Structures are given as structure tokens and as C-alpha cells.
Amino acid sequence: MYYWNKDAECVDRGELDALRNYRLLKTVRHAYENVPAYKRKFDEIGLRPEHIRGIEDLPKLPFTNKTDFRDNYPFGMYAVPMDKVVRVHASSGTTGKAVVVGYTQGDIATWAEMIARTLGAGGTCKGDVVQNAYGYGLFTGGLGAHYGAERIGASVVPISGGNTKRQIQIMQDFGSTVLCCTPSYAELIGETAHEMGVDTSKLPLRAAFLGAEPWTEAMRRKIEELLNIDALDIYGLSEVMGPGVSYECMEKNGLHINEDHFIAEIVDPETGEPLPPGSKGELVFTSLTKEALPILRYRTHDITYIDDSPCPCGRTFHKMHRIMGRTDDMLIVRGVNVFPSQIESVLMEMEGTEPHYMIVVDRSEGEMDTMEVWVEVSPELVSDEVRTLENMERKIAGELHSLLGISLKVKLVEPKSIPRSEGKAKRVVDRRELYQ
């Protein structure tokens, strides 16, 4: 069995609970005293930090939502002055969906520890060559994985995403032993290697740590076979920390939650009522050690359940099942969060299009996710020239690309051809089978 920090990861549950209680009270006070948004929420319901005496009081705390980040954009959720913030990351979106997060020096160290545990659980150690193909930049994946791999003392190749043939060349030349990227990118790398005639069983590559988008057991088998490796799932979200909030061990049967740093709850997505272990519901996180951005009961909109049965790996951290769905309409396409409302806002601005549209997401075997936006043309737009229509498609695709940061295809369709619905319009057709 591999561990980065066996003392922490296999801690006695009694000791862990005592630690969690202590850290929760500290976090609640820190949030209340330093983040006006939290103070307002507490005051509104007459809650005082001293009313929280332990984890059993957690349900008394109000939820935090993505809208809290939007309402307090960009730095209003921070609990420390900017001179303590050494790093800023942000999630995608410019139409009110952007989430800006900050980290103190201490937070960066905690985060690196989370990733070190994650990579360590798959056997990564000093001497490994970690090819980090997560995107670097505002996205938390790249730098998150980077710092964790450095913490372990591995040699990091900060190649970032894209340029697949070069990824494989580097993998051969540098002797990469560990790969970090999104699962769909790992699949593409594997397929491409085979097309190039590379015998992956001869590569020193041993393990991949794949996250930032949902994937299936079938994809795991395929990636493992293509690259001749162990593929492990990692989970995280920028509001809570970034990648590494939970991680799989070699049992490959659920993700251990770093419970000394986060409390995970499962609640009924409709009522918000807490559900017992084993029940499927919405995952909610409370941070226990974050300094810059303490988070209380953050609603992830991810659907899963908690498995508190002992794991043969010896880790005492409870596990969460891989993500089984979403409670909202957010799509994750090639690691990027996409909300239909963002696409709608672009179409509204565009002359010649109707507000009727449909988003079709697909993932063919061995390919990255593809996204098509079907847009109804208005009768006024239709001309006798294909060029006019093609220009329209290009223009919409360009606008969407600059907003979302991912390329997609725009397809014009006949007016009234997208099914109308009497209730909530069905805007998304997701043909990927992500949640088995």
C-alpha cells in the first residue's frame, strides 16, 4: 500500500473527530468575524458562532452557494486582507458565473499536501517524472497538481494541455512515469499513441490521476488498457480548494475525502435536509483549515453518496462514490463549466437568431468532448446565399469561444425545429455516458 502521509490518512477516527470539532469551531469564528457576507447570513437567522459546538451542529449553519461568490465578486468572500493572498484562481464564465478564489501561503501548503496524498495513493514518490497535462492558468488543475507533485519531490513536467503528439514524444523522451490530466484527454493521448505506433507497454508510464470532469468505469478500463497504467479518479472544485479534495486509493472503489481538512455532508437537493451515510444526494462541503476563503456548507450540486465502510487500504477517511450526476443544468465539457444561460446570453445579443437553441454534447470513442450548439435561424436571416449563413455560424461560434474558452460547433437549424416544451425548456442533450 502507498501513502504520502500515513499518520494523517490512517488516523484513529476518535482522534480525527476531535480534531474536526476543534477546527470547525475555529473556521466558523474565522468566517463570521472576517467575512461580512457570512456575518450577515448568521445575523439574519440569529445564529452566533458559539451556537456551533461541534459537527452535530453543522445543520444549523446556512448553506453557501455559487451566488454568494457572484454577489461578492471578486474578493468579497475572502477572510484575510489581500496582502495575505498569494494566489488567485477563477472558474470559467463571465456572465455572472465567475468564481474568484484566493489562497494564503498556508492554503497553498495545505492544497499541496492534499495533492501529495492524492498522487501518493497511486504510488508517486521522489524520483517519479510527473507529466502535468492539466491546463495551467486561472483553472486550478494545472498549478494545483504542480505544487502537490513538487511537494512529493517528483520531477514535474509542466506541459499543460494540448499538442497531443508532443505529449507522447515528451512521455517517451523524458520517461514520464505519472500523468495528470482530464480523463478524456488521457483517453485521447492513449488513442493517439496507438495511432503513432507507440508501444505503450514499453513506456515507463505507471499511473494517471484524472479529474476535473465526470467519467465512467468503462473509461477507466479503456484508459488503463490503452496506456498500460493504473488510472485513479481525483475530485475537487475551486470554491472548496481545487483538485485533491478527495482521491482514490488503489482499491479504485470510491474517493477518500481529506476529512481532516473538509467535512462532507450529503443533503436532499430539494429540502436541504441532511441524509445519512449511504443515501444518494447533493454533496456539501465545509472547510476546516482554509485561511483566505473559509467555506461553510458549500453546495456543490454534485450528486453522490458517502461510503463509511472500512477500506482495505487502511485509510480511515470515509469515501464518496464517483460523481453520479448534477442537480443543476451545468455541463462540464473538456474540464470547463458551461451553463446554458451563458450560451443563451450570447444568442440574445446576436441579430438573426431566435432564442431557441439546443446544446448537444457528445464524446466519441477516443475523442475529446464535442459541443454543438443548434440555433434556429430567424426568417429574416435566411438568404439565398450559403456564405451569409456560414458567416453567421462563424460569428456565433467565435463569440461563444471567447466567452467559454472552448471551441464548439454552431449548427443553424430550421425555425421551429427545436422541440418546444411546456415546462422548463430542455436545452441540453448530453450523449456522453458519464455517470455509470
Partner 1 sequence: MKVSQLSVFIENKSGRLADVTRTLANAGINVRALSIADTIDYGLLRLIVNDPARAKSELTNAGFTVALTEVLAIEVPDKPGGLAGIIDAFAECGLNIEYMYAFVGTSGENAIVIFRVEKVDEAMSSLQKKGVKVLSGEKLYAI
Closer residue to partner 1 (CB): 348 or 386: 386
List the one residue from 389, 403, 406, 428 that touches partner 1 (CB under 8 A): 389
* Least distance in angstroms from the C-beta of 382 to partner 1: 5
List the one residue from 29, 70, 411, 426 that touches partner 1 (CB under 8 A): 411
Interactions with partner 1, residue window 168-227 (CB under 8 A): none
Contact, 2 vs 121, CB < 8 A?
Answer: yes
List the one residue from 382, 403, 406, 425 that touches partner 1 (CB under 8 A): 382
List the one residue from 67, 279, 364, 383 that touches partner 1 (CB under 8 A): 383
Q: How many residues does the chain have?
A: 436
* Least distance in angstroms from the C-beta of 385 to partner 1: 7
List the one residue from 391, 402, 407, 417 that touches partner 1 (CB under 8 A): 417
Stretch that binds partner 1, among 57-65, 95-103, 149-157, 414-422 (CB under 8 A): 414-422
* Least distance in angstroms from the C-beta of 363 to partner 1: 20
Residue 395 engages partner 1 in binding (rule: CB under 8 A)? no
Listed in sequence order, the DSSP H helices in 236-371 are: 340-349
Stretch that binds partner 1, among 103-111, 175-183, 327-335, 408-416 (CB under 8 A): 408-416
User: All 3 cell numbers of residue 249?
Assistant: 486509493
List the one residue from 83, 126, 202, 386 that touches partner 1 (CB under 8 A): 386
* Least distance in angstroms from the C-beta of 362 to partner 1: 15
Contact, 279 vs 308, CB < 8 A?
Answer: no
Listed in sequence order, the DSSP H helices in 196-253 are: 217-227
Closer residue to partner 1 (CB): 45 or 386: 386
Listed in sequence order, the DSSP H helices in 208-327 are: 217-227
Stretch that binds partner 1, among 10-18, 249-257, 345-353, 405-413 (CB under 8 A): 405-413
DSSP string, 32-57: HHH-HHHHHHHHHTT--GGG--SGGG
Distance CA 171, CA 76 (A): 42
Distance CA 284, CA 300 (A): 6
User: All 3 cell numbers of residue 61?
Assistant: 449553519
Dihedrals phi, psi of 164, to nearest 5 degrees: -60, -40
List the one residue from 87, 275, 415, 425 that touches partner 1 (CB under 8 A): 415
Distance CA 177, CA 228 (A): 11
Smallest Cα–Cα separation from 203: which of 232, 159, 168? 168
Instruction: Tell me, by CB under 8 A, how many residues bind partner 1.
Output: 16
Q: Residue for cell digits 430567424?
A: 378
List the one residue from 7, 173, 384, 422 that touches partner 1 (CB under 8 A): 384
Closer residue to partner 1 (CB): 250 or 382: 382
Residue 390 engages partner 1 in binding (rule: CB under 8 A)? yes
Dihedrals phi, psi of 75, to nearest 5 degrees: -110, 10
User: All 3 cell numbers of residue 290?
Assistant: 482554509
Closer residue to partner 1 (CB): 379 or 423: 379
Q: Kindly write out the interface string for residues 340-379 of this chain, putting x where it contacts partner 1 by CB under 8 A and - elsewhere.
A: -------------------------------------x-x
Beta-bridge partner residues of 265: 284
Closer residue to partner 1 (CB): 9 or 376: 376
Distance CA 246, CA 117 (A): 9
Closer residue to partner 1 (CB): 237 or 359: 359
Contact, 124 vs 154, CB < 8 A?
Answer: yes
Residue 413 engages partner 1 in binding (rule: CB under 8 A)? yes
Q: Residue for cell digits 510527473?
A: 130
* Least distance in angstroms from the C-beta of 395 to partner 1: 16
List the one residue from 385, 420, 423, 424 that touches partner 1 (CB under 8 A): 385
List the one residue from 13, 51, 401, 416 that touches partner 1 (CB under 8 A): 416
Residue 26 engages partner 1 in binding (rule: CB under 8 A)? no
- Cα separations in angstroms, 296 against 31, 144, 322: 8, 22, 22
Who contacts 239 (Cβ-Cβ below 8 Å, separation ≥6)? Answer: 66, 69, 91, 99, 101, 295, 298, 300
Residues making contact with partner 1 (CB under 8 A): 377, 379, 382-386, 389-390, 411-417
